[in-house]
A and B are shown apart, each in its own frame.
Chain A
Amino acid sequence: MEHFSLVLPVSEERPLEQKVQDGIKGHAAVDSVIPMVLQGTDITNTFGGSSTTMALAVKGNDRESIMSELGLTLKDGKLPAAGTKEIAVHWRIATNKGWKIGDKIGSYVDKGERLPGQYTVVGLLDGPSMISFISLETYAAEHNLTDQDLYKTGMLVLPKSEALESMNRYLADIPSYDAKVMSYDTEMADVNEILDSINTTMMIIEGMLIVVLSISVGLLSYIYFYQRHNEFGLLYAMGYTRGQVINRAVSEISGMNIAGFTIGILLALLGGLLLNEFVYIPQGQPLELWNWGYVLRTFSIPLFVMLFSIFPVWRMLSRLDPISIIEGVE
């Protein structure tokens, strides 16, 4: 949606009115308008839910310019011919759905399929946008629509250079009873709403993790260093200062936490690589394996664990009496 926006009728009974079409076509920020019908097919996402990908019914020549705009190429097979019930799908969608070239798909074949009718997969696409193409000519023939009528079923609107924001501002002002607009802004608002919800949930889980880990690892550290109190008592007696002994304990705790964090990150990367290789890439949804923002946020876990581990150990070592230890009183 960084390259175009979609304007769709609010319902089948209420196609896009001429004044809406004319307004869009005549706007200064609009480069061109392509008639289309928006359909879709669902894919299973990483966590078992589903997401809908676009299946655009467009004319052959329009399809080429859209593919060029979106950086899409034909990876395998061919593109749908005009007037046929053929479909070219992105390879990730095909992988996710288990489709291959030659397969018959659609709601006639699989009642659970969102894409209405029956299509034959003839090509696989590659590129950054997970999208599929079918023939608009076929749709027009099935519904007895003229070329002019096709604009009523939906419009893919391409902005002039550097004019996406201006175009989207105009589209956003179209009354919602006249048309449904899908733009970068509307999609991002939806995505951000979902992400905010996920982030809030993750932050709550992370907070709980920090509390549980801080208490449990803090206690474990205390027990671990308490079991070594003979060693620290001896060091005091031999002439190590309290500062030196505490520094030693702090270095060990910090070292263990940082080493644990680093190993954890490496194992997570390895796990991610394996999951991608064997689970998610076959589903067409590879995981993002590295994100500095998440890494830094996750670092708050060892940081808090360190603090909660250091404090009780520091307190214990500050109060340690070497003579009690030498005499076996403690």
Chain B
Amino acid sequence: MLLEGKGLTMVYDRGKELETYALRDVNIALDINQMIGVMGPSGSGKSSLLYVLSGLKKPTAGTVVYKGMDLDAMSAVERARLRKKEFGFIFQRHFLIDYMTALDNVLVGINDASAAGKNKALLLMDRLGMKHVAYKKPFQLSGGQRQRIAIARALINDPAVIFADEPTASLDHANAQEVMAVLEEIKAKTSVLVVTHDASILKNADSVIERWDGRIKAEQPEKPVVALSKERHRASAGSE
């Protein structure tokens, strides 16, 4: 397995009167060249799962193992280095830097403005159909273009895993489909974990899991552990 989360539990407001479980004993595995969709309503803990798996947050309990390395055993700096080298991030908001051109925004991912870095970024932008806006500022781009630049920024470091948190939430349907098409194309080289509340964008995902109240709501309610495989399975709605 490329990335594996075992028994992940994430509790907010721990020790307070009202503890909130964002994750409750969740097991999840992501293999190479796989696209997994994580679905669920707001507050279901799907974003927390992404933060924990990517090392942005430490789980209250459980472990995350990436290529055999336990993220919990790493220091904050080591986890930061891992994210920079191995992971790419796409968020609901594009978070492009206003005063930089699209090209410079892409280069932020590698912090390398050398000619080689620029060529790589331009090739990537070309692949995403964005080369013609390379020297435009974010405010000169459409929503879909901005998100594609954000995707280019996530891909510039040749990540092994892309974490996409609601990547289409701020886009109209046509732009959302465009962005998803790009992500599906990326899958040939990079594993992708997409968190969304929109089922329509996950029609080509290898697996889709639904989350509800911090747990994975699976076809087998008594078994909250879901081992993901190439087999596509969509969890049905219903109580656990």
Contact = CB atoms under 8 A, between A and B. Distances in A.
Interface of A: 228, 230-231, 233-243, 322-323, 326-328
Interface residues of B, number: 22
Given A323-B51, A327-B47, A237 B89 contact: yes
Contact of B97 (A231, A237, A242): A231
Contacts of A241: 76-77, 80-81
Chain A CB within 10 Å — which of B80, B84, B85 has the most? B80
B82 interface: yes
B85 A239 contact: yes
Interface string B25-69: 000000000000000000000010001000011000000000000
A229 to B, nearest CB: 11
B136 to A, nearest CB: 18
B93 A238 contact: no
Contacts of A234: 95, 97, 108
Contacts of A238: 83-84, 89, 108-109
Interface of B: 47, 51, 56-57, 76-77, 80-85, 87, 89, 91, 93, 95, 97, 108-109, 111, 165
A271 to B, nearest CB: 31
Contact of B56 (A242, A243, A322): A322
Nearest to B109: A238
For the complex, would chain B's binding face be called helix, strand, loop or mixed by DSSP majority?
A: mixed
A323 B83 CA distance: 14
A323 to B, nearest CB: 6
Contacts of B83: 237-239
Given A237-B83, A240-B111, 9 more contacts: A236-B80, A237-B89, A238-B84, A239-B84, A239-B85, A241-B76, A241-B81, A242-B76, A323-B56
A322 B77 CA distance: 14
A326 B93 CA distance: 8
Nearest to B51: A323
A237 B84 contact: no
B130 to A, nearest CB: 19
Contacts of A230: 95
15 contacts: A228-B97, A230-B95, A231-B95, A231-B97, A234-B97, A236-B80, A237-B91, A238-B89, A238-B108, A239-B85, A240-B80, A240-B84, A323-B56, A323-B57, A326-B165
Contacts of B77: 241, 243
A330 to B, nearest CB: 13
Nearest to A227: B98
Contacts of B57: 323
A239 B97 CA distance: 16
A233 B56 CA distance: 11
Contacts of B47: 327
Contact of A239 (B51, B82, B95): B82
Contacts of A326: 91, 93, 95, 165
A237 B109 contact: no
B85 A328 contact: no
A237 B85 CA distance: 12
A62 to B, nearest CB: 73
B87 to A, nearest CB: 7
